Amino acid sequence: MHAGTVRHRHDTSAVNPRAAHLSLALRHVAEASGQISRAGIAARTGLNRSTASSLIDELINGGLVKETGATTRNRAGRPGTALALRDDGPAGLGVDVNVDYTAVCVVDLTGAVRYKHVVAEDQRGHTNTGIRHRIATLAHTARTAAATSGLTLSGSAVAVPGIVDRTRATVTLAPNLGWRDLDVTEVLPGDVHGLLDNEANFAALSEATLLHDRASYLYVSGQIGVGAGIVLDGRLYRGTHGWSGEIGHLTVDRDGPACPCGRRGCLERYAGQEAILRAAGVSSDPGTSLGVRPTVALIADRARTGDPATLAALTRAGEVLGATLAGCLNLLDLGHVVLGGIYRDLAPWIAPEVEREVATQFLGAPWARPTVEVAAYGPEAPAIGAARSVIHDILSDPLRWLNR
Amino acid sequence: MHAGTVRHRHDTSAVNPRAAHLSLALRHVAEASGQISRAGIAARTGLNRSTASSLIDELINGGLVKETGATTRNRAGRPGTALALRDDGPAGLGVDVNVDYTAVCVVDLTGAVRYKHVVAEDQRGHTNTGIRHRIATLAHTARTAAATSGLTLSGSAVAVPGIVDRTRATVTLAPNLGWRDLDVTEVLPGDVHGLLDNEANFAALSEATLLHDRASYLYVSGQIGVGAGIVLDGRLYRGTHGWSGEIGHLTVDRDGPACPCGRRGCLERYAGQEAILRAAGVSSDPGTSLGVRPTVALIADRARTGDPATLAALTRAGEVLGATLAGCLNLLDLGHVVLGGIYRDLAPWIAPEVEREVATQFLGAPWARPTVEVAAYGPEAPAIGAARSVIHDILSDPLRWLNR
């Protein structure tokens, strides 16, 4: 009998009680930052007051929590010193190596984006050494910017457009970059190491704190392919091997056009960037300097002028995307969809179609109509999500930072 | 901004440290039942030896754990008394109210099925009072059987073929039983109350201990509809509202036959029981006394005799089911599929097609070929899974039993 790879036998939080208690206290501060005292932490965690107080002292001494100087009152009316997350403590560095741009960003413990920089440049003509050099330069500037704000980078995370093996820090396959079984140290400078993940997964996390700390949603990112990030109770669901979210190869029509994956009629043959361009009658020559973003901007321009072929292409893409998303919502029972990547840029034409399909085809719609929202961030979304994942790791296990 | 319903802000285990520690100790005994001592529990949990020992004493006094009398040796060679789960302590009662049968079963703390009984009878002609009477009789017999084995029923769980609202203990919609917004107390006797869930969800749990304690897999159950239970790291993934697993309405072909759900070309139009019967040229008259199981047995008989229409129908159903499952594996990145319900009965013809489709269409197959397995249990699967869910609840929070 065989079952999928098992990632962890027990939650880390359960194995080390001290880490679990510190995390619990820190997450309660995070949820009610500036509005909670030591007594409030004790009440919400169920820990006794002296334990809660000593945990808070440890978090204060470690530079994660501060006393704001303000006073809170508990239900009995007793005053207490308000606690808040520090915004001058640890920070996460996020890096996104994409086909036609590189992005970096810095996020502080409160989840706020403190620095970001996107450089548009096609990576495909560059050697791995050239890519590493560019990342090193960008990371150095980000690190300097963080230090200027009093922040200390506690770790980094790297988004790539492909399938990754997180445990081996290897990019298994990133077809558009020509990477296969690539050890990431070949493209990452020595001071940028950390968790790897697929760009759609990290992009999904960029929405996490904007929604609710424990929200569940499907983030769909339109690119040349169509990827998704599944967030359950505020955490990225990565799957057995870390390959979750391959929504682009759900079947729209078994007798549809052939897909490079070997199947027919996959979603990306209808709603991927190339499919939209083709249906709109716009040529997409990767040899031109047009690049991905300008091409999408061109589509948006044509749609605004009312070009019939473009409008029909977008309507059709939105319909098929919406129907497929409705199927995903039926399978996963998620109540919220976020449209990212090119769907964010093309939202005025895509989003209404998606909303309509989802509202009519989600089986639970009579009881709970799903909501569809446009992503808050554009090309910087994966880098922001990557940086936030570093912060999530500190919130889950503050000892990572305290024992550094 | 709106996000899906949030089910719980923090894990119960994190809120009450004592419950979390008891659960941790109990789960370690469960994993290494008969092979672990108090010192082993301390080593694996990271708790100090006196804490671990007092937790074990509490579990022993509460009737959950016993000393077997055998001796274990730790790495340093020191002898210790072996600990095991009691098989004469608490037990879970599982009830499955289905369209054409009612099933009950009793599972002990070790997950073993100690009693089961399936009564084939069509519920559709019966009033809710009649259904309640039948369940009361079955539950009484199960309770007596449990007591005879020295077991005490600690709770019950009820599987129904429909969408449920667990928090309100209401069946939102069970079309084949004609139930809509039904308060389950209308069909459950007073001594059978507990968690409600969809039958495919509970059926999925029936496989959980057969696989690995932390396995992730997709359980697909063929019936008149097609349902699925998603198990992640050994736990049922229920979704935002508890409606997850509606695989039957994933699109096979947007231009395919109309489905009662309002879409076209849904999976169940190709691989549901009625679709297979129709394609095989077998009439399915719900007015006859043939019932669901005999109908499936008839199909299996015809296939065994090599009836071409039946074989073609099964091949087509298996292909379409396999392709849809491959899409789900791509979305969820699961490495294992279990075929239940009618697919278990029809496995000799369905399973090879599913295996082939999944092997060729799961994008990660070159690195990790998914496995396909036939369910261990037939019609009793939902009742067994329901009973196991009661045991899972005790393992997650032993205070439910200790404080009873």
B155-166 residue pLDDT tens: 999 999 888 888
> Residues A110-120: what's their mean pLDDT?
92
Amino acid at A89: G
Name the H helices within A281-335: 292-304, 308-332
Q: Is the pLDDT of residue B59 over 60?
A: yes
Q: What is the pLDDT of residue A370?
A: 94
CATH number of the structural domain A90-206+382-402: 3.30.420.40
Q: How confident is the model at residue B3 (pLDDT cuts 50, 70, 90)?
A: very low
pLDDT digits (tens, 9 = 90+) for B137-189: 999 999 999 999 999 999 999 999 888 888 888 888 887 788 888 888 888 88
Tokens standing for A377? Answer: 């961030």
> Residues A310-316: what's their mean pLDDT?
97
Q: Is A186 helix (H, G, I), strand (E, B) or coil?
A: helix
Q: What is the pLDDT of residue B32?
A: 85
Q: With pLDDT > 90 as the criterion, what percentage of chain A qualifies? A: 56
pLDDT digits (tens, 9 = 90+) for B307-356: 999 999 999 999 999 999 999 999 999 999 999 999 999 999 999 999 99
In this structure, which topology does domain A217-376 adopt according to CATH? Nucleotidyltransferase; domain 5 (3.30.420)
> Residues A122-149: what's their mean pLDDT?
89
Q: Is the pLDDT of residue B105 over 80?
A: yes
Q: Is B65 helix (H, G, I), strand (E, B) or coil?
A: strand
Give the CATH H-level superfamily of domain B217-375.
ATPase, nucleotide binding domain (3.30.420.40)
Q: Is the pLDDT of residue A6 over 50?
A: no
pLDDT digits (tens, 9 = 90+) for B203-227: 999 988 755 566 899 999 998 889 9
What's the DSSP call for residue B5? P
Tokens standing for B250? Answer: 């994933």
Q: What is the DSSP string of B210-241?
A: TS-TT--EEEEEESSSEEEEEEETTEEE--SS
Closest chain B residue by Cα to residue A28 = B10
CA angle A157-A161-A166, nearest 5°? 45
Q: How many CB atoms lie within 10 A of CB B140?
A: 14
Contact check, Cβ <8 Å, A45/B330: no
**Cα–Cα nearest to B215, from A256, A160, A1, A259:** A1
Of B45, B323, B363, the CB nearest to A15: B45
Tokens standing for A214? Answer: 């424990």
The reply to whether domains A12-85 and A90-206+382-402 share a CATH topology is no
Whole-angstrom Cα distance, residue B195 to residue B197?
Answer: 7
Contact check, Cβ <8 Å, B320/A254: yes
> Residues B116-122: what's their mean pLDDT?
87
Q: How confident is the model at residue B190 (pLDDT cuts 50, 70, 90)?
A: confident
CATH number of the structural domain A12-85: 1.10.10.10
Q: What is the ipTM, given to two decimal places?
A: 0.84
Of A45, A237, A363, the CB nearest to B246: A363
Q: What is the mean pLDDT of chain B?
A: 87
Q: Which value, in Å, is the radius of gyration of the alpha carbons in chain A?
A: 23
Of A17, A333, A360, the CB nearest to B46: A17
Give the CATH H-level superfamily of domain B90-208+382-391.
ATPase, nucleotide binding domain (3.30.420.40)
pLDDT digits (tens, 9 = 90+) for A249-265: 888 888 889 988 778 88
Q: What is the pLDDT of residue A284?
A: 57
A366: left (phi over 0), alpha (psi -120 to 50) or beta: alpha
pLDDT digits (tens, 9 = 90+) for A172-209: 888 778 888 888 888 888 777 778 999 999 999 998 87
Tokens standing for B75? Answer: 């790495």
Q: What is the pLDDT of residue A380?
A: 92
Q: What is the mean pLDDT of chain A?
A: 87
Q: What is the pLDDT of residue B294?
A: 65
Contact check, Cβ <8 Å, A333/B20: no
Structural domain boundaries in chain B: 12-85, 90-208+382-391, 217-375
Closest chain B residue by Cα to residue A357 = B263
| Cβ neighbours of A251 in B, within 8 Å | 251-252, 323-324, 327
Among B47, B55, B320, B332, the residue to mutate for chain A (most A Cβ within 10 A) = B332
Q: What is the pLDDT of residue B285?
A: 55
pLDDT digits (tens, 9 = 90+) for B222-272: 988 899 999 998 889 999 988 999 999 888 888 889 988 778 889 999 999
Distance from B265 to chain A by nearest Cα, in Å? 9
* Beta pairing partners, A253: B253
> Residues A380-399: what's their mean pLDDT?
93
Q: What is the pLDDT of residue A190?
A: 78
